[in-house]
Amino acid sequence: MQGDSSDQITENNTKGNDGSKQDQNENNETQSDQRKEVPQNDQISQSSDKVVDHSKQDSVSVVGNPTAITVMVNKSNALPKGYRPNDLVRPKVKFTFGSQQLDKALMRAEAADALERMFNQASSNGIQLYAASGFRSYETQEYLFNREIEQVGRQKAELAVAKPGTSEHQTGLTMDISAASMNYTLDESFEYKPEGKWLAEHAHEYGFILRYPKGKENITKYQFEPWHFRYVGKEIATEIYHKGITLEEYFQNKKGI
């Protein structure tokens, strides 16, 4: 999610995030739906020999409104297999991987604009944020999910990595965010860093929600991810923030009205 300002990252940092640091970052990157990202236009360093036939796994509903800003994507609601937003752009913010041209630097235009405004305001407040992972294709998510199964088994994999089609990253409305204080990685300790605290308190002002909050794992079905922010628009984000609820609870409450 970003443009010229990403070049401000030093060459050493960029190399680190491409090599050893990138491995470390990607190993932390998705304890839920974004662990070790390998965008489809990136080089895949490891190949997966085992392919899982997801069509025969637990059934999920395919959403009928994949382009909606408020689209609900989770373990029960999947995007169409070939879905790729047609308005993906690179936000003009700093990235953990510098100026590399990767799919994970992309977001849908409206979300990208909001991300830029949020990062700019954070900078004005002395908080320097770094975008780590945005859009992710169905094919990349499939690779990540299969690899996770090989490494830890299916049960643990499903808690850590979204099945293909059920990752919010495929919507183009999500960005994982890190900071220099985190060594540009994604970890639960981000919650206690100044950058993580600032985001938790102010993200809703720009239309973003902390998608997988602590204490809501039984609802979201994912582990706590203080780095994962989803764009839903300012009005809904503000309501979710003040009520202390999840996106699932928001829509459930609306059904009850």
Q: What is the DSSP string of 1-50?
A: --SGGGGGS-HHHHHHHHTHHHHHHHHHTTTTTTSS---TTSPPSS----
The reported pTM is 0.78
Q: CA quadruple 8, 84, 140, 209: dihedral positive or negative?
A: positive
Q: What is the pLDDT of residue 58?
A: 56
Can you tell me the distance from the alpha carbon of 156 to that of 35, in angstroms, rounded to the nearest whole number? Answer: 12
> What pLDDT shows up at residue 255?
74
Q: Which two tokens stand for residue 136?
A: 């992710």
The 10 Å Cβ neighbour count of residue 138 is 20
Distances (CA, A) of 55 to 64, 81, 141, 165: 18, 11, 15, 11
**Three-class HEC string of 214-245:** CCCHHHHCCCCEEEEEEECCHHHHHHHHHHCC
∠ Cα 165 171 175 (to 5°): 115
What are the pLDDT tens digits along the chain (257 aa)?
333 333 333 333 333 333 333 334 444 444 434 433 333 333 322 222 233 333 334 578 999 999 999 999 999 999 998 899 999 999 999 999 999 999 999 999 999 999 999 999 999 999 999 999 999 999 999 999 999 999 999 988 887 889 999 999 999 999 999 999 999 999 999 999 999 999 999 999 999 999 999 999 999 999 999 999 999 999 999 999 999 999 999 999 987 54
Q: What is the pLDDT of residue 21?
A: 36
- Looking at residue 92, its pLDDT comes to 98
Domain 4-39+69-255 has CATH 3.30.1380.10: yes
**Which of 157, 169, 164 has its CA nearest to residue 132?**
169
Please say whether the beta carbons of 180 and 123 come within 8 A: no
Which pLDDT score, from 0 to 100, does residue 256 have?
56
Confidence (pLDDT) at 40: 38
pLDDT of residue 71: 97
Spatial neighbors of 137 by CB under 8 A, at least 6 apart, are: 39, 40, 84, 103, 170
The CA distance from 108 to 164, in Å, is 19
Domain boundaries, the chain: 4-39+69-255
> Within a 10 A sphere around the Cβ of 204, how many other Cβ atoms?
22
How far is it, in rounded angstroms, from Cα 174 to Cα 37? 14
Residue where the block lists tokens 């299969």: 146
User: Does residue 210 contact residue 161 with C-beta atoms inside 8 Å?
Assistant: no
